[in-house]
Structure 1
């Protein structure tokens, strides 16, 4: 009898909510989940949308019953700030890959750069990079890419609602983009480079928003590593607050 009461008690007090993390570079989304599981001593934790190891910024962890709204949260629009470098393409479309081709970067005007970005507004299709988590016959593409394999990827519908060019210091361009879920910023950088006929790859990426969630309430990766279970629970956003935020 005593043990049944204990289990009921632990289910009632089980952590539940969304924890926002400001991911640091070279940490995978999976690492963040593992650290959180360890600190909370609780297994039922997932994340909403993978961030590449080189990327930083907003990673949303769903904890306990909040795992039920994972798909809902993942479906929302995102905002990223990034830097692309013109003049070289890489096999991963970012700086972690190997350089495939290098070209001279013309002295583009700001208008020329803006026109290239402006081509990617509204709905269009992207071919996912070989280095991505999409699965082909059950195997993630990035695992095939590591073995030097290249497979056909189907284009996927995405959209951009807005963008801004924040700095041009050729060969670098800093930008902000508001986009749909499933959008590859690496591919965006690569495609813009192709349109400018000199190639480009992504050198920095930071996710600053997902749906209504921003970095304002995010815990840094360093804080997460040392946080107590109580501190994590305090930082979590409750399901009640989430439904208010989403206007549900």
Structure 2
């Protein structure tokens, strides 16, 4: 079970991170559960060696002792002697989620960690649902932050909100074309735009490929955002800036990632499924799709940009104003 089970652990899978849980704790919990499963497998029977043991002669009533050849087990590979067979695993985290956010979190085990870099180089988009609350502003754009302002929101309508969202999407689409470094007059640019594979060729600020309002019930509203190179803090700031554009204020009450590249909520393992068999099945099930999607997205001119540091380049905390991106992109 040990080595055979380990061989089926190389690859990518998705877990569902609940709000309030740090990604490091999730990774450590997954590693602990995998090690527990690997070490729980039945080990091969201990080897036996011939030993000459001193004992009484069989069938003799005398107390005379003699050496008798006896097969005895060796305990050199016993768990109580050498400890567990597996003590650590190499597990990498893809596009991270901060403690307050929830949703799809991609992990790579063993050789699957290199695929996380391929996912980054492919510049795949991610989907989020972002909940907003009109009428107040805080210092960190979160509902439980320090209150800095309260405003009215009776004048805010869904039409006004959707008008602002359309402006945001338009400015980001222009920026996406610029960061893609393609000539709009070429057939290549047309085909990339039609197929939806237009991607930046290197690191860029947060870019939104789509944003729309799913629900509007003042003071609450729900947005769906498709983006890349984002942080959850930038998404919360987006809600704050939308509130200002509406001549009001707004805070973010929830950020939930529903898709990361080719992994969706349907692929994400719940807390009760973070065990060896479930993760092995998830990795094996996702492997063909991962290979096909990476091959499709890592085309000419894509995925050739290496990360600027050995860390996690997709976790950049550089500020980016969603509404002011168009003006900066033109410089």
Hey, what's the Cα distance between the residues in 2 that align with 1:169 and 1:239? 41
Q: Deviations over 1:41-100 (max 9, x none)?
A: 242111111212222210111111111122332432110012111111122212242222
Match of 1:186 in 2: 236
Q: Does the aligned pair in 2 maintain the 1:16–1:64 contact within 8 Å?
A: yes
Hey, what's the Cα distance between the residues in 1 that align with 2:295 and 2:129? 26
123 and 65 in structure 1: CA distance in 2 versus 1, 3 angstrom threshold: farther
Match of 2:313 in 1: none
> SS of 1:106's equivalent?
coil
> How far has the Cα of 1:181 moved from its partner?
2.2
Q: Does the aligned pair in 1 maintain the 2:207–2:230 contact within 8 Å?
A: no
- Per the normalisation by structure 2, the TM-score is 0.57
Higher relative contact order by CA 8 Å / sep ≥ 6: 1 or 2? Answer: 1
Hey, what's the Cα distance between the residues in 2 that align with 1:222 and 1:97? 31
Match of 2:105 in 1: 59
Match of 1:93 in 2: 141
Which has the larger displacement, 238-247 or 75-84? 238-247
Match of 1:104 in 2: 152
> How far has the Cα of 1:14 moved from its partner?
6.8
Higher strand share: 1
> How far has the Cα of 1:12 moved from its partner?
7.2
> SS of 1:245's equivalent?
helix
- Per the normalisation by structure 1, the TM-score is 0.75
Q: Does the aligned pair in 2 maintain the 1:76–1:181 contact within 8 Å?
A: no
Match of 2:34 in 1: 40
The structure number with the bigger radius of gyration is 2
Match of 1:216 in 2: 266
> Are 1:79 and 2:127 matched, yes or no?
yes
RMSD: 2.3
1:170 to 209, 213, 218: 218
239 and 223 in structure 1: CA distance in 2 versus 1, 3 angstrom threshold: closer
Q: Does the aligned pair in 2 maintain the 1:29–1:50 contact within 8 Å?
A: yes
2:279 to 232, 237, 243: 232
Q: Does the aligned pair in 2 maintain the 1:122–1:159 contact within 8 Å?
A: no
Q: Does the aligned pair in 2 maintain the 1:123–1:157 contact within 8 Å?
A: no
> Are 1:21 and 2:69 matched, yes or no?
no
Q: Deviations over 1:192-241 (max 9, x none)?
A: 112122121110121111112211121112322xx2x2332112255554
Runs of 4+ in 1 over 4 A off after TM superposition: 9-12, 237-240
Q: Deviations over 1:164-211 (max 9, x none)?
A: 211111111111111112252112111111212212111012111111
Q: Does the aligned pair in 1 maintain the 2:12–2:115 contact within 8 Å?
A: no
Question: Which blocks of at least 5 consecutive residues in structure 1 are unaligned?
Answer: 1-8, 125-155
Hey, what's the Cα distance between the residues in 2 that align with 1:218 and 1:25? 15
Task: Tell me the matched-pair count.
Answer: 207
Hey, what's the Cα distance between the residues in 2 that align with 1:160 and 1:13? 38
207 and 94 in structure 1: CA distance in 2 versus 1, 3 angstrom threshold: same
